[in-house]
Amino acid sequence: MTCYFVLICRNDLFIYLRLTILHNVKFDFLYRMNTSKVIYLQKKHFMKLKYLLSFFILVSLFFSCNKEKRQAKKDNDIIEKYISSNHLNAIATGSGLYYVIDLQGTGTNPNASSQVTVAYKGYFTDGSVFDQSDAAGITFSLSGVIEGWVEGIPFFKKGGKGKLLIPSKLGYGPDGTSGIPGNSVLIFDITLLDVR
């Protein structure tokens, strides 16, 4: 169960909870309790409830952060092993993303709001392909794609070629998407065909 927020007003207690079962079944609850109308809830019990909820939030945040750190380390280990096994000259950005520039390209670098045309092949570290464009590529705004692309594509100029090695938190996260399981490291061979 994950508690998203607790708001305590003078006479009202609002609790928003999300109960997650098996990563894909989620139930959302918004609960409002008017404490002035609840006769049997004495002030001391209300204070205990506040402390209990605060403790629950802190414990949830602690375990959530630890889980994210463990996943980030696991992703980094997978990427570094892939780099070593494939003798890549990859550069780490500090966010968990690694990139390889085979050909820099010419002209200006795109930014996070640029329209770009990219030919790409996306695959997992075992080499299995989950998505691929044709040689003409696809055109899109960088603001509408996964964070790994928003951060990584601007390292290339028009005509540039290389790889993006993307940890799960900059890809599709723990939930994944169609054809991509949660917490998957993604690799993209990219050619930046155009920047507008």
End-to-end distance of the chain based on CA atoms, in angstroms? 44
Choose between 116 and 50: higher pLDDT. Answer: 116
Dihedral, CA atoms, 144, 88, 181, 168, nearest 10 degrees? -60
> Measured between alpha carbons, how far is residue 117 from residues 44, 73, 135 in Å?
62, 32, 11
pLDDT tier at 172, thresholds 50, 70, 90: very high
Q: What is the pLDDT of residue 138?
A: 96
Domain extent listing, the chain: 2-74, 77-195
Please compute the mean of the pLDDT values over residues 56-76 and round it to a whole number: 75
| 141 and 113 Cβ atoms separated by less than 8 Å | yes
pLDDT mean across residues, the chain: 81
- Is residue 39's pLDDT more than 60? no
More confident residue, 99 or 32: 99
For 189-195, what is the mean pLDDT? 97
- Rounded to two decimals, the pTM is 0.69
Residue with the bigger pLDDT between 13 and 134: it is 134
CATH classification for the domain delimited by 77-195, as one of 2.160.10.10, 3.10.50.40, 3.50.50.60, 2.40.33.20: 3.10.50.40
The predicted model gives 92-100 an average pLDDT of 97
